Chain A
Amino acid sequence: MVLELQKPRPIWQIMFSTHHTDVGLLYLILSIGFLFLGGALALIIRAELFLPGAQIIGDAMTFNRIFTVHGTTLIFLFILPFASSVGNYFVPIMIRYKDMAYPKLNALAFWMIPPGGALIWLGFADFSWYANPPYSIISAPGPAADMWIFGLKILGISSVLGAINFIVTILKCKHPDMSIGQVPLLAWSFLSSSLIILVAIPTFAAALLMLLTDRLGVTGFFNPAMGGDPIAYAHLFWFTFHPEVYVLVIPAIGMMYEIIPRFSRKPIHSYNSGIFAFVLLSIVGFSSWAHHMYATGMSFTEKTVFMVGTLAAVPASALHVFNFVATMWNGRIKFSTPMMWAVGGIALFFSAGAGGVANAAMPLDFTTHDTYWVVGHFHLFVMGTIAFGSFGFMYYMYPYVTGRMYNEALGKIHFIMSFIGTILVFFTQHVLGLYGMPRRVFDYPPIPEWIAMNQIASIGAMIIGVSMVIFLANIIHSAGKGKLADTDDPFGVGGKYYYPFEARNPSH
């Protein structure tokens, strides 16, 4: 149990620890740190786009660097480490083992993230998180691009090591009395997302190496001037990163599976359909990658195949929504902060999914591809669903991590402002995309509709920004001054929690 603030111990003892709660704490602090760094970049982007013309950033190059690092940071340095943090804290407890299967590997996987993040931030590359060749080969400047490639390489290895650890922990270290069909859904979500990582990431790792040698001029895999094909990179990239979307979303859904039954005071409606949907999603997720590439000149047949593959993922996601709704039905729901985030996340999950279906329909790509529609769509997923689930879980695990309660009123204000802000920013961006505004632009012509919608989006972003400041103040202040949590039942909802003080940290 990590109660550093009540029973201080030297920082190096946490940093060099291999205990799962210590590694989980390190992941947690790192992910919250990068959340604020990446979020600050988002606010700069929105401030710049508030009006046409240059506002606060002098030149397009800086802007391009900012949106590149914004995306890379929030995906690889906020969402993934936060999921790992939750996994580290909870998976060993849920499967009743003393630690992760490979504690040293666990610490190693964590300590690869800071150098990876440092490379990305010190380099500040400009070719967008997609790094599409041949731009990234022949045009992207200097050490920045190479640093990004190495940074992502390190983060990819870290993900794979973490995934191996989770898979072995869950399959091999679970308590002998426990069958795999009794492992809680949150742990199941880590099992399925780790399996996806293991299959998907090596492809991108290979693509990154090829990109690097292409940049060095040694090879021409993706460089048409040397006989290569940039579309090959797109296939390799999306073969990793479409499944990666499910890697991001599945743990968030697992977190909701922990929160929603707890606060509804009922067990989950159908444990089996939750497992079924996780497994189905992690298989079907591999059949849809090229729907990102309809406009690259694919044949009608290819497009049809990938449209069908994409639509096939929808029923699996829909099962989760059904499960959540059915769980809340006839419950006695206590709307503490974690529950509010989880329910808000489900509501936005539907909108994001419906937008995804529209994206999958091939002809609509002509209207929406690479416009702000797409930006609105995937942000609705990563912010509206994944980050909402994650924030809910941050509040849920807060008493576990600090032994104190956060301020409930501030937590609710954080949720309400973020919810309003998310709707303002990302729903507006959908409409903006339908008006044709391309993504990744530093400036735009003064078309009245574009200006109006950009301003609504920017105001929404500032609301989210303010709510995040409230969040930060809340967690920092409450960690020292909050009232002590009732460790058996911090939320007063009864039942058997997975977490209270079962994990014994040898340092305490």
Chain B
Amino acid sequence: MVKLSGHSNWPEWIYVGVVIALMCWVGAEAWEAERLVEHVPADVEIIKVVGQQWFWTFEHEDGTKEIGELHVEAGKAYKFEIHSTDVIHSFNIHDYVVLMDAVPGRVNTVWFAPDQPGTHDIQCREYCGLIHYNMRGTLIVEEPTH
């Protein structure tokens, strides 16, 4: 063997212990946060989102359809059911940290609760072809009606 350790190894053990402890911490924190954000409230309103090359369509629970624009109310919770008709897209409202792939043949869900009126960008974050860069929409959060 090449020089069986003439040096002591305890710093290395402590170092590895610290690294493992840090990774346990990261894992536990991430697990907890993921559990919280995946916890869907009971009274969410469902919005059907359809991604196709290269625009977004939305269908509300009451049957209203919108293209490229989505109107929601502040103070309510919404669950997106995300479909795709052609290739994989990724539905993303970055300001609300909403992201979920639109995979043909599957329905993925993600929920959020907008809290203030305002306008936010919707974009596609998975490469989907020619006009991927401009597969954008607008989220308009309105004042609560009641």
Contact = CB atoms under 8 A, between A and B. Distances in A.
Verify whether A and B have any Cβ pair under 8 Å: yes
Interface of A: 60-61, 64, 127-128, 130, 132-135, 138-139, 179, 181-182, 224-225, 228-231, 267-273, 295-297, 300, 303-304, 307-308, 311-312, 314-315, 318-319, 322, 326, 357, 360-367, 369-371, 435-436, 438-445
Interface stretch (B43-51, B60-68, B125-133): B125-133
Contacts of B100: 295, 297
A311 B2 CA distance: 31
Contact of B88 (A135, A269, A360): A135
A363 B125 contact: no
B31 A134 contact: no
Given A315-B20, A326-B12, A370 B38 contact: no
A379 to B, nearest CB: 17
Nearest to B31: A304
Contacts of A228: 105
Contacts of B94: 367, 435-436
A296 B103 CA distance: 7
A360 B134 CA distance: 29
Nearest to A60: B130
Interface residue tally of chain B, by bracket?
35 or more
Given A270-B12, A361-B30, A295 B133 contact: no
Given A134-B87, A297-B101, A315-B20, A231 B127 contact: no
B143 interface: no
The 6 closest A-B pairs by CB, nearest first: A436-B94, A224-B105, A361-B30, A297-B108, A441-B133, A135-B87
B68 to A, nearest CB: 14
B86 A139 contact: yes
Contacts of B38: 300
Given A134-B87, A438-B123, A438-B125, A357 B16 contact: no
Contact of B23 (A128, A133, A231, A315): A315
Nearest to B27: A311
B33 interface: yes
Interface in B62-99: 86-88, 90, 92, 94-95, 97-99
Contact of A231 (B30, B87, B103, B133): B103
A362 B34 contact: yes
A366 B26 CA distance: 16
B15 interface: yes
Contact of B106 (A139, A297, A357, A364): A297
Contacts of A444: 133
Contacts, number: 167
Nearest to B37: A363
A363 B2 contact: no
A357 B22 CA distance: 10
B27 to A, nearest CB: 5
A325 to B, nearest CB: 9
B16 A366 contact: no
Given A311-B23, A438-B123, A134 B88 contact: yes
B29 A314 contact: no
Given A307-B27, A369-B99, A138 B125 contact: no
Nearest to A295: B101
Given A363-B34, A364-B30, A370 B86 contact: no
A132 B133 CA distance: 17
B138 to A, nearest CB: 11
Interface in B1-46: 1-3, 5, 7, 9, 11-12, 15-16, 19-20, 23, 26-27, 29-31, 33-35, 37-38
22 contacts: A60-B130, A64-B127, A138-B86, A181-B1, A230-B105, A270-B7, A295-B100, A297-B100, A297-B101, A311-B27, A315-B23, A318-B15, A318-B16, A318-B19, A322-B15, A326-B11, A360-B26, A361-B33, A369-B90, A371-B125, A436-B123, A441-B132
Given A139-B53, A139-B87, A439-B125, 13 more contacts: A130-B127, A132-B87, A134-B86, A135-B128, A179-B1, A230-B88, A300-B38, A311-B23, A318-B16, A362-B34, A363-B30, A370-B125, A436-B94
Given A138-B87, A308-B27, A363-B33, A297 B125 contact: no
B104 interface: yes
A361 B26 CA distance: 7
Nearest to A312: B23
Interface in B104-146: 104-106, 108-109, 121, 123-134, 136
A224 B83 CA distance: 12
B125 A369 contact: yes
Given A231-B103, A322-B12, A314 B88 contact: no
Contact of A271 (B2, B128, B132): B2
Contacts of A362: 30-31, 33-34
Nearest to A229: B105
A222 to B, nearest CB: 10
A297 B19 CA distance: 30
A268 B12 CA distance: 14
Contacts of A370: 90, 125-127
Contacts of A182: 1-2
B142 to A, nearest CB: 22
Nearest to B7: A269
Contact of A61 (B123, B124, B130): B130
A315 B127 CA distance: 33
A441 B124 CA distance: 10
Contacts of A438: 92, 123-125, 132-133
Contacts of A303: 34
A231 B16 CA distance: 36
A271 B2 CA distance: 7
Contacts of A127: 127
A230 B132 contact: no
Contacts of B7: 269-270
Given A182-B1, A311-B23, A270 B9 contact: yes
